[in-house]
Amino acid sequence: MPDLATVKAALRAQHIETPSWAFGNSGTRFKVFAQEGVPRTAYEKAEDAATVHRFTGVAPSMAVHIPWDAVADYADLAAYADSLGIAIGAVNPNVFQDDDYRLGSLCNPEPAVRRKALDHMLECVDIMDATGSRDLSVWLADGLNYPGQDSIAARQDRLEAGLRTVYDRLGPTQRMLVEYKLFEPAFYATDLPDWGTSYAHCVDLGPKAQVLVDTGHHAPGTNIEFIVAFLLRRSKLGGFHFNSRFYADDDLMVGAADPYQLFRIMAEIVFAGTLGENSRVAFMLDQCHNIEPKIPALIRSVMNVQEATAKALLIDTEALGRAQRDGDVLSANAILADAFATDVRPLLAELREEMGLDPDPMAAYERSGHAAKIRAHRVGGTAAGWGA
């Protein structure tokens, strides 16, 4: 069985990035639901991200979305985040909300629109330079609604050219994470519809381009852990946007719908030996909390990733290897199932106490009265959020 000290060390070193947009108002395509106490600026979002880190101990960075998180001085934002005990994480360009992007961004048939999208993405690399960010997280809403609307092949050529320009601008320690999505808002064809398309572009671009796997961006029944194992084997897994879904891109709390799937994904990370201080796999949350309180939902999400990781670390890999070599199907499956069935909450509570944290982050947050404080303080101004 795995050594508990080793398991704790791996859990202590795990970093789970929170997304700035999860702290603002959000909703469905029909309605944005406002909550009291949501942040009004990128600085207040950083305060909320620091709060999640303060109670969990493993969420030391916040992803930003531009221009949702636009500020006059990005170095100042990074310094403020640092003063709170966190860092600015992945920078996410927004090339999908302007009217100009109705027919796409980097794949748009109009050269001026492509140039606009490209300039924005290059601006985001400048922001990475100013904040010390390592990752440019690229998601495009580009695609087609009707057959014949545009040339599928020509759009791939435009995509390749645009990504190449951005890639060549990256610094030596920076990388591009290329996300994909099965559908929405394009329904006939999507220009980056699956991991294979993203992988092919990343291979062509070079070692600083890797695939970003959003756990909600797949057809029902897709074996995501296979994708993870394949990309790990090829050194092309850059990271995750963790969320949970019942049907498609629901952006619910990670582990809410299928915690066993999250465990199986983390098991592949453990099997590949890519969990630890030197891991290049980014564990990022990508969630929108429409009806539940923002900060507690993110604390719970971090805890869910921790629990899945702890269970994966407890897999008896030696016994599993023997069963696999012997073709003992039932034993091999039982070893995985037994690890998943383990109650790791006492282990994680003990770890948090050793880290100087409350063993129950959710209860600690409720006792802190923090929610009432931000509701009282954040009055007036314009709450952060997005419109449908």
Q: What is the pLDDT of residues 202-261, one digit of tens each?
A: 999 999 999 999 999 999 999 999 999 999 999 999 999 999 999 888 899 999 999 999
Q: Do the domain assignments include residue 235?
A: yes
Q: What is the pLDDT of residue 129?
A: 98
Distance of CA 223 to the CA centre of its chain: 18
Lowest pLDDT segment from 277-281, 302-306, 316-320: 277-281
Question: CA nearest 136: which of 118, 158, 115?
Answer: 118
Alpha-carbon torsion (194, 197, 203, 204), positive or negative? negative
Question: CA nearest 309: which of 22, 57, 60, 8?
Answer: 8
Distance of CA 164 to the CA centre of its chain: 23
Percent of the chain with pLDDT over 90: 93
| Average pLDDT score over residue span 47-60 | 98
Instruction: Output 278 or 18, whichever has higher pLDDT.
Output: 18
The answer to whether the CB of 183 falls within 8 A of the CB of 215 is no
Q: What is the pLDDT of residues 157-174, one digit of tens each?
A: 999 999 999 999 999 999
- The residues pairing with 19 across neighbouring beta strands, listed in sequence order, are 63
Q: Do the domain assignments include residue 46?
A: yes
CATH number of the CATH domain containing 157: 3.20.20.150
- The pTM score is 0.96
Q: What is the pLDDT of residues 68-86, one digit of tens each?
A: 999 999 999 999 999 999 9
DSSP codes joined into one string, 206-229: -TTEEEEEETTSS-TT--HHHHHH
| Average pLDDT score over residue span 270-298 | 92
| Average pLDDT score over residue span 180-205 | 97
Q: Please state, in angstroms and rounded to a whole number, the distance separating the CA atoms of residues 200 and 284.
A: 23
Task: Return the axis-axis angle of helices 195-205 and 152-169, rounded to nearest 10°.
Answer: 50
Q: Do the domain assignments include residue 319?
A: no
Is 59 a residue whose pLDDT tops 90? yes
Q: Do the domain assignments include residue 328?
A: no
Amino acid at 297: A
Q: What is the pLDDT of residue 276?
A: 74
Mean per-residue pLDDT of the chain: 96
Question: CA nearest 37: which of 290, 368, 296, 377?
Answer: 377
Residue 204, SS3 per DSSP: helix
> Per the omega criterion (within 30 degrees of 0), is the bond before 185 cis?
yes
Q: Which residue has the tokens 């909300």?
A: 97
Q: Do the domain assignments include residue 331?
A: no
**CA distances, 106 to each of 123, 163, 274 (Å):** 15, 8, 32
Q: What is the pLDDT of residues 327-355, one digit of tens each?
A: 999 999 999 999 999 999 999 999 999 99
Instruction: Output 3 or 360, whichever has higher pLDDT.
Output: 360
Is 388 a residue whose pLDDT tops 50? no
Q: What is the pLDDT of residue 215?
A: 97
Q: What is the pLDDT of residue 82?
A: 98
Question: CA nearest 306: which of 337, 239, 351?
Answer: 351
Q: Please state, in angstroms and rounded to a whole number, the distance separating the CA atoms of residues 257 and 245.
A: 6
Domain limits at 265?
15-307
The answer to whether the CB of 150 falls within 8 A of the CB of 194 is no
The DSSP H or E segment spanning 189 is strand 189-190
Backbone angles phi, psi at 242, to 5 degrees: -80, 130
Q: What is the pLDDT of residue 277?
A: 67
User: How many domains does the chain fold into?
Assistant: 1
Q: Do the domain assignments include residue 358?
A: no
Lowest pLDDT segment from 182-191, 261-270, 271-280, 339-348: 271-280
Instruction: Output 382 or 326, whichever has higher pLDDT.
Output: 326
Q: Do the domain assignments include residue 360?
A: no
Q: Which residue has the tokens 């996300």?
A: 179
Q: Do the domain assignments include residue 255?
A: yes
For the record, the structure tokens of 41 come out as 């600026």
Q: What is the pLDDT of residues 114-145, one digit of tens each?
A: 999 999 999 999 999 999 999 999 999 999 99
Other beta carbons within 10 angstroms of residue 137's beta carbon come to 28
Instruction: Output 250 or 387, whichever has higher pLDDT.
Output: 250
